[in-house]
Amino acid sequence: MPMTKLAELMKSSGLAAKPSVADARMLRTALSKVSGLDVYAGSVSAVDGAVLAMAKDGLDKRLIVLGAAGSAVLGQFAGQDRSVDVDEKKMTLRICQLDGANAAALRKVLPWTAPTIIGLRTSVGMGDRLGLGTPGHIKAVEGTGLMPFVAQQSIREMTRTQRTAQQVMDDAGFGVFQAGWRDGFGSDADHLKTVEDIDMCAKAGFTMFTIDPGEHVDNAAGKDDIVTLRAKYEKLPWVEMSKTSHSCRTDYLTGPFAIEGIGAWQIKEEELLRAACKYARAIAHTAKLARHLDKVKGEGQYEIEMSVDETDSPTTPMEHFFVANELKCLGVKFSSLAPRFIGKFEKGVDYQGDLVEFERQFAQHAAIARHVGPYKISIHSGSDKFLIYPIAAKYTQGLIHLKTAGTSYLEAIRVIAKRDAALFREIMQFAIDRYETDKASYHVSAELSKVPKLSSVPDEQLVSYLDDFHARQVLHVTFGSVLTTKKPDGSYLFRDRLYTDLKKHEADYDEFLCKHLGKHVKPFAKK
């Protein structure tokens, strides 16, 4: 029966519908038998008389393609061939490496393994620093109505993990294929600052570009006296802003602005000066990069997020209004914007701050996004901020993008803590030793003196480190050093052993990711 079902599937023309759960199990049985590999049932797909699937070969994974000799689909992929019998007919089975060429072929043959533009649909970013997390991420969003960004990586993260933009994209595509996710996914080239960053990520096929003009933000403008502000204001790059200092005053000071959810809003001169002096150069830089994107991707072939979340001072609602309105005036089309909210959005831990004031301001941010846009409010460093999720869900009404990254790496370390106590102890001690150096580019407040002593924690309780505020942050910010540090002989100190453990315990990693990320997406799920 399974072989007959496989033979029937191979008669399909074009892209076949996703098999039912029962059929997928039978097809997995048949493909596993003819290949000798452990096939992932969800991956089984048929197109133009060929069947494709992901399979496990020991600790490694392979892409398998089954078809008649000379099949056009077979011809797209490179691999090793063998002749197999399928329902008394000779077929060619090609076993392929998960490399860049075969990833590109897969995107061509099965379009759902390529990213798409997500637009205003409610979405969640799931950064995957190891390239192993996509199946678990997909499980976390199934049935929620949220659109996942499973290819998401910043330039900083790629540098620290020694991965390329193309590797990030390819790993995500293979993960989507393995999971059998056909509902679409986004890809986020995160925190881009230069045209060179854009070119690299555009070449890799990214569809969303998060522009980070933080280096062009004048944080001092929040505290400057009025005389200094007026002097700075006159020297702003008005030509690049396509207006004059006078016309800008006219635009904002002749209000009031009627914004649903805020009411009649009369902007004061000082508010305008602070907003313009703080963000005008950042706006101009964003517009410059957006124009470059038009050249390299083509209008309508990408989406933009603008992020100012990593600046020193919070973005006030007035400043948010100024930024969004000026981007719109410059013709920059953006699907989401990430302000710097009040309170502490530290890595790997919950929100710290006044929730009442956060809610008051967040309601205004959401109102502005609907008024000027609509566009989505993007919450960066959104991992583990459980206290604010109900507030964000309430006021954005679906116009939200929640961005997570490092929390998935921490779930990988949770697997190590559970399955390989010796390796976890080594990694934890190494992270403690590296923390003071590696925390330099992060907003964290963990104290080494408050990390539980390794010698006092028995093996069966090591997973508790992943629930401790201080230990989580120490592990979070040292990921790059853990993944890339080498021994004197040139071999990796931890990387190979960590990957081996995660491949051995793949089910644990998927389960941990699904459970932990599931808590993130649940407040935003479509009812």
Query: Tokens 């996942």 appear where?
Result: 148
Work out the number of other CB atoms within 10 angstroms of the CB of residue 396: 22
Concatenate the DSSP letters of all residues of 293-352 into one string.
HHHHH-TTS-EEEEE-TTSSS---HHHHHHHHHHHHHTT---SEEE---SSB--TTS--B
Bridge partner list, 96 = 63
Distance, CA of 421 to CA of 454 (rounded, Å): 11
Residues contacting residue 467 through CB under 8 Å, at least 6 positions apart: none
Strands 147-154 and 123-126, sheet pairing: parallel
| Angle CA 464–465–470, to nearest 5 | 130
Distance, CA of 447 to CA of 455 (rounded, Å): 18
Q: How far is CA 428 from CA 405, 414, 455, 513, in A?
A: 20, 11, 12, 20
Q: Long-range pairs for 31-35 at CB < 8 Å and ≥24 separation? A: 31/6, 31/55, 31/64, 31/66, 33/2, 33/3, 34/6, 34/66, 34/84, 34/85, 34/86, 34/91, 34/93, 35/64, 35/84, 35/93, 35/95
Q: What is the pLDDT of residue 310?
A: 84
Structure tokens given for 237: 């790059």
Concatenate the DSSP letters of all residues of 389-428 into one string.
HHHHHHHHTT-EEEEE-HHHHHHHHHHHHHH-HHHHHHHH
Q: What is the pLDDT of residue 45?
A: 96
CB-side exposure of 298: number of CA atoms within 13 Å?
A: 3
* Helix (DSSP H) and strand (DSSP E) numbers for the chain: 19, 16
Q: What is the pLDDT of residue 1?
A: 65
Q: What is the pLDDT of residue 334?
A: 98
Query: Tokens 């039912």 appear where?
Result: 20
Distance, CA of 360 to CA of 143 (rounded, Å): 31
Short-list 473, 507, 514, CA closest to 381: 473
- Domain borders along the chain are 2-109, 408-515
Q: What is the pLDDT of residue 309?
A: 93
Please give the span between the terminal C-alpha atoms of the chain, in angstroms, as a whole number.
39
Active site members = 190, 305
Q: What is the pLDDT of residue 88?
A: 87
Distance, CA of 269 to CA of 251 (rounded, Å): 11
Work out the number of other CB atoms within 10 angstroms of the CB of residue 87: 14
Do 175 and 509 meet the contact criterion of CB atoms below 8 Å apart?
no
| Angle CA 76–79–84, to nearest 5 | 100
What is the tens place of the pLDDT at every residue in 79-128? 999 999 998 899 999 999 999 999 999 999 999 999 999 999 999 999 99
Provide the 3-class DSSP secondary structure of residue 80.
Answer: strand
Work out the number of other CB atoms within 10 angstroms of the CB of residue 336: 28
User: Does the predicted model carry a pTM greater than 0.85?
Assistant: yes
What is the tens place of the pLDDT at every residue in 133-189? 999 999 999 999 999 999 999 999 999 999 999 999 999 999 999 999 999 999 999
Distance, CA of 488 to CA of 298 (rounded, Å): 47
Residue 60, Cβ density class (10 Å: 0-12 exposed, 13-18 middle, ≥19 buried):
exposed
DSSP 8-state code for residue 152: E
Digits of tens for pLDDT over the chain (527 positions)? 688 889 888 888 888 899 999 999 999 999 999 999 999 999 999 999 999 999 999 999 999 999 998 899 999 999 999 999 998 899 999 999 999 999 999 999 999 999 999 999 999 999 999 999 999 999 999 999 999 999 999 999 999 999 999 999 999 999 999 999 999 999 999 999 999 999 999 999 999 999 999 999 999 999 999 999 999 999 999 999 999 999 999 999 998 999 999 999 999 999 999 999 999 999 999 999 999 999 999 989 999 999 999 888 999 999 999 999 999 999 999 999 999 999 999 999 999 999 999 999 999 999 999 999 999 999 999 999 999 999 999 999 999 999 999 999 999 999 999 999 999 999 999 999 999 999 998 889 999 999 999 999 999 999 999 999 999 999 999 999 999 999 999 999 999 999 999 999 999 999 999 999 999 999 999 86
Distance, CA of 204 to CA of 170 (rounded, Å): 9
Bridge partner list, 306 = 211, 337
Q: What is the pLDDT of residue 87?
A: 87
What is the tens place of the pLDDT at every residue in 205-247? 999 999 999 999 999 999 999 999 999 999 999 999 999 999 9
